[in-house]
Structure 1
Amino acid sequence: MADDDILKLLRTGIEDGRFTRDDRMLPERQLAEILGISRTRLRRALDTLTTEGRLFRHQGQGTFVAPPPALEIAGHEAISRQVTPQNVMEVRIEVEPALAALAAERASAAELESLERLMRATLGVEDPAAYEAADEVFHYRIAELAHNPLFLSIYQSVRAVRRHARWTDARRRTHSPQRIGLLGRQHETLTHAIVERNGTEAALLMEDHLMTVSNAMLRNRGTRTVICD
């Protein structure tokens, strides 16, 4: 079987859920047996999918499925040339606390377990790129658990704008191991509020989390002027 065929099978299996369980890929040994290939070839294919942004890995916890690519809607690329980081955060701070509150109200028990797993994947990460991958999946999952298609569409629009904006790479410079550790702990506290069905607390914690990232990039923690994480 050619490498391209392996990648095609993996992509299809991820999309239809055959190769995933609870937001994670099946164990490598099981996947290799299903595909009839060596684990070395499988790992090479998984590395390719990770580079593409379809998967991300967390040491000791497995390989997770990343959220779908940001929607490509006409106008996003043009808007991204005009939008500032502060513009994006103004929207995020209005939208994401509401998403967290709705997730606390509407998520099923199984979905909350999934969110806890994704939250744990943001803990103990020191590499900025690995943290960003885990962070994106975590926040996207909260948006999904709100079970509001219009809110999810708005969130996808924000993702699309951030994807095209030239300033998005700047946020990595603020992601020291200490900062990543703090953000991970905030994820943990936020998740506990959602799991406990405390929507009011979840909304407040989400806003605090976004403000922490914003102020870190501005080097000005005493103001509510914000910039995008």
Structure 2
Amino acid sequence: MVLSGKPPEQALLDAIKDRENDCAFISNGRLLPERALASKLGISRVRVRHILKELEQAGLVFRRRGQGTFVAPPPAADAGRIRVLASRITPRELMEVRLEVEPALAALAAERATFEELNRLRQLMQATLDASDTDVYESADEIFHYRLAEMAHNRLFLNIYNEIREVRKQASWMQQRKITYSRSTIEQLGLQHRDLMNNVAARNSEAAASVMRMHLLVVSNTLMRRRHYTSSF
């Protein structure tokens, strides 16, 4: 039976866009298996498969063979090893690596992004601007940066970025971000996303890398102030 009288596609889309978790369709950030989705939506598995393919092409879900379909970037394959590494890494060490890797990814994205990817990134950028609170911003921010990394079209770079992302998720001190991010900080970061998007779309790789670096410095300085660091990189 279709929930709330909505068409199957809309019911599923609403849950995904709202980043609902542990709801009728999503558990621990992952969509239920196709068979379970088909049963809850009251449609065939063939139609479910078709819907998921369209959602993936629209950039709304992440499908990984053998892992399932996620509403956010999926965890790295070797998350267990990275969890141990994250316990030993300081915020300073993480930001040093991010400041080297992510501006390079932004520059490559400016050179290589497809028209469809740019349209998708523009929507994701707007989601960070429209974020109503820190939790919503965090979700939109993660997806924006991940899609940007994908747009570099370099599998080794993406693998490195995935490790960075997993360290950020696993490190206990990353919880400080939710405490330190004020409304004005979120607005500033969202506007930087807009500048970054504009430069990537304009194919200005040098400017895209520069905006990414400035963006990361704001993130770094905010986190370091909370932890009483004196250096702001």
TM-score, with structure 2 as normaliser: 0.72
Q: Is 1:200 aligned to residue 201 of structure 2?
A: no
Q: How does 1:119-158 map to 2 (within 5 A)?
A: 119-158=125-164
Secondary structure, counterpart of 1:137 in structure 2: helix
Q: Is 1:115 aligned to residue 121 of structure 2?
A: yes
- Aligned partners of 1:182, 1:87: CA distance in 2, in Å? 24
Give the structure 1 partner of residue 17 of structure 2.
Answer: none
Report the Cα offset of residue 21 of structure 1. Answer: 5.1
Amino acid at match of 1:17: K
| Contact 1:86 1:225 (C-alpha < 8 Å) held by counterparts | no
> CA 1:102 to 1:20, structure 2 compared with 1: closer, same or farther past 3 Å?
closer
Report the Cα offset of residue 224 of structure 1. Answer: 5.3
Report the Cα offset of residue 8 of structure 1. Answer: 2.3
Q: Select 2:59's aligned residue among 23, 28, 35.
A: 23
- Aligned partners of 2:76, 2:140: CA distance in 1, in Å? 15
> CA 1:14 to 1:205, structure 2 compared with 1: closer, same or farther past 3 Å?
farther
Amino acid at match of 1:23: G
Q: Is 1:160 aligned to residue 185 of structure 2?
A: no
Give the structure 2 partner of residue 225 of structure 1.
Answer: 232
Report the Cα offset of residue 4 of structure 1. Answer: 7.5
- Aligned partners of 2:181, 2:85: CA distance in 1, in Å? 26
> CA 1:127 to 1:206, structure 2 compared with 1: closer, same or farther past 3 Å?
same
Identity %: 44
Q: Select 2:33's aligned residue among 8, 16, 21.
A: 8
For residues 137-159 of structure 1, the C-alpha deviation after alignment (integer angstroms, 9 at most, x for no partner) is 00001100000000000000111
- Aligned partners of 2:145, 2:76: CA distance in 1, in Å? 13
- Aligned partners of 1:112, 1:198: CA distance in 2, in Å? 13
Give the structure 1 partner of residue 43 of structure 2.
Answer: none
Report the Cα offset of residue 164 of structure 1. Answer: 1.7
> CA 1:4 to 1:170, structure 2 compared with 1: closer, same or farther past 3 Å?
closer
| Contact 1:211 1:224 (C-alpha < 8 Å) held by counterparts | no
Q: Is 1:92 aligned to residue 89 of structure 2?
A: no
> CA 1:192 to 1:72, structure 2 compared with 1: closer, same or farther past 3 Å?
same
The size of the alignment, in residue pairs, is 188
Report the Cα offset of residue 173 of structure 1. Answer: 1.0
Q: Is 1:176 aligned to residue 212 of structure 2?
A: no
For residues 152-173 of structure 1, the C-alpha deviation after alignment (integer angstroms, 9 at most, x for no partner) is 0000011122222111111111
- Structure 1 gap segments, 5+ residues each: 26-52, 56-65
Secondary structure, counterpart of 1:122 in structure 2: helix
Secondary structure, counterpart of 2:131 in structure 1: coil
- Aligned partners of 2:169, 2:223: CA distance in 1, in Å? 18
Report the Cα offset of residue 213 of structure 1. Answer: 1.3
- Aligned partners of 1:159, 1:15: CA distance in 2, in Å? 28
- Aligned partners of 1:13, 1:181: CA distance in 2, in Å? 37
Give the structure 1 partner of residue 42 of structure 2.
Answer: none
TM-score, with structure 1 as normaliser: 0.73
